[in-house]
Amino acid sequence: MVFGIEPLQSPIINGFNTLAHVTSKTQPKKLSLPEHSVILPMTQLIWRPLATLAWIHQKYGDLVLGRLFGRKILFVSAPEHIEHIFNLEGKGLLSRDFLYDAKRVLFGNGLVNSQSEVWSKQRRLMQPLFSKEAVKQYELIIIEEAAAVAGNLKNAADGQVNLTTEIKKLIQRIFIRILLGKSVDSISNSPELIKVIEIICQELPVQLGSEIIFGSRLKRFIPLKSKRYHAAVDYLKAFLRQEIAEKQKHPGQDLISLLIQSSDRSTGYTMPAELLQDEAVNLFFAGQETTINTLLWFFYLTGKHAEVRNRIAAEIRQLPDEPLCATHLSQLSYTKAALNETLRLYPPTSALSTQTVHDIELGDFGIPKGVTVLLSMHTTNHSPRLWDKPEEFNPNRFLETATPERHKYAFFPFGGGLHNCIGKHFAELEMLLVIASFIREFNFETDISVKEAFSITLKPDRVIVGNVEPID
């Protein structure tokens, strides 16, 4: 096979090789990875990840190869390539094992971190508890908690509210009731728990980012505040361990008890005790920050766009005059479109990474074993190649009547392939019920300007404050 790479001035700039610039003299085309070592802008991936990913995409295209400190990184943003990567991952040609150690401290062998047989047994066991039908059992808890907060916000003394505080507390209350079957108020150390969760959310991206970019060899040079992180993880695990022990003695209707009682019909597999704790931690992390931040972005965006806000309000307020329930949600197509548009602009999980463990082919190119592959939903969701005026907040893009033929991986906030989000149906139910509960009671308006802050999830860089106007 003869490879033709155009002279150096075109493909290799600042350590990036854009595959779009590589030509071949024979079919199929193949790429030899260049051996470059660059400090900038790759290191900026740590400090300004999203802006750097967007810059790489805009400057070099859909499939870009970079190299830093011996680690080859492939940036993939075309939906067709993303789909192919997920398919190849399903066939075992790519794997996330390289992140195993960095994630293990927190996630252990829970779904977020496990692979192969452990993962598939656990996923089969847990999947039925998260089906669209199964999650409806939680509607009452969500509505009850959301209605209480909506009532308080509606009656805010001067009409000024801090949604960040309120939505955070609300999602935590809902989540604790669902996971543990008890109210946050009954947990004596809940302030400490909230503190340790914040610490973990701050530290985890540093742990993972340094692993992705530098690898374990060089990670020790990164200023890791790992003592604080480890102490926080230990605290959370001790708390969950105690809760699980209680449920083992006195099971209830909570999610942990359901996990304890689940068994795989065909194999009889039940969840081993050590995995129960890991899965509880996984759900704890995967299930809260993601929905909190999506809701905050939703109210921020709709709080600033009167036309969208009014249309959502009209849709929600034409629901039958009866207590809210999950079946009403099918009538909220515009509200759902606005929620999707929020997830497009601000996907809480903004990038995923995996690694080739065999040589693979991607489009016309050959990618060798050992390359770290970065899929960024944030980059794809903002790509001008896929979206008209991508920075504009326009829910109409997600209305069935307005949707042009769009590749399913042009928008993939819940991931894809084997590790797609198990909590998607729960998250959608929860977010739409919270939105409907709030908007039945008040309008929220804001004139603040917020930027993206990168944490374990993509969050607003300041609190979302604004005015509520009660609905009579």
Give contact residues for ligand HEM (rule: CB under 6 A): 111-112, 123, 282-283, 286-287, 290-291, 294, 348-349, 352, 413-415, 419, 421-423, 426-427
C-beta of 402: minimal distance to ligand HEM in Å? 23
Cβ closer to ligand HEM: 138 or 365? Answer: 138
C-beta of 71: minimal distance to ligand HEM in Å? 19
Cβ closer to ligand HEM: 31 or 450? Answer: 450
Q: Give Cα 170 distance to the centre of its chain.
A: 19
Cβ closer to ligand HEM: 175 or 393? Answer: 175
Cβ closer to ligand HEM: 362 or 427? Answer: 427
> How many residues are given for the chain?
472
C-beta of 378: minimal distance to ligand HEM in Å? 11
C-beta of 413: minimal distance to ligand HEM in Å? 4
Closest residue to ligand HEM, judged by C-beta, is 423
Cβ closer to ligand HEM: 31 or 171? Answer: 171
C-beta of 146: minimal distance to ligand HEM in Å? 15
Cβ closer to ligand HEM: 64 or 339? Answer: 339
C-beta of 344: minimal distance to ligand HEM in Å? 11
